[in-house]
Amino acid sequence: MPEKQRDSGATWRWSEIARFTRTLLASRLGRRGPFFISHLVTGRCNCNCPTCLWRDNKSDELETSVIERLYRGAKDTGFVANSIWGGEPLLRQDLGRLCRSSRENGMMTTVITNGLLLPDRAHEIGKEVHCMIVSLDYPESKGHDSFRGMPGLFARA
């Protein structure tokens, strides 16, 4: 099947789109239930936002193998989309592996990040996901960096 080249240099196979569409339709026809995972993979973060719900809750992270089993089970249950977030998910060294597992289990995979580590990890992570979302709290650097407690974040993101 032909491939569509994305700006990131990664390929998005038409077969993935077809599989996602089939799975989504199958999950919605004849049964009711969830189809979207919102997965907080870490409470760790490199920012210091005043409104953060996770700042004082640095709970243990699940092991990579446990998350991979979760994604296989999600596929078997009919989940078709996975939004990976945190804290800051790019702080997990295994994030590329987690994204690959999510994608290989048929889920449209999105990573939500503050963008600080994105320049260093975009090539690794970008080829494993369908979408990356960078959170911006202000339309200009002064307000954004001040709110996030991280000078230079707006420019890197």
CATH number of the domain within which 75 lies? 3.20.20.70
**Is residue 5 domain-resident?**
no
How does residue 14 score in pLDDT terms, banded at 50, 70 and 90? confident
Measured from the Cβ of residue 86, the count of other Cβ atoms closer than 10 Å reads 22
Q: What is the percent of the chain where pLDDT is above 90?
A: 63
Residue 77, domain extent? 35-44+61-157
Of 113, 115, 107, 149, nearest to 41 by C-alpha is 113
In a domain, 13, yes or no: no
Whole-number pLDDT of residue 76:
87
What average pLDDT does range 29-33 have in this prediction? 64
Does any domain span residue 6? no
Band (32; pLDDT cuts 50, 70, 90): low
Would you state the pLDDT for residue 12?
A: 57
Cβ neighbors of 15 (< 8 A, separation 6 or more) are 1
Is residue 143 a part of any domain in this protein?
Answer: yes
CB of 72 within 8 A of CB of 105?
A: yes
How many domains does the chain fold into? Answer: 1
Res 29 pLDDT > 80? no
What pLDDT sits at residue 27? 63
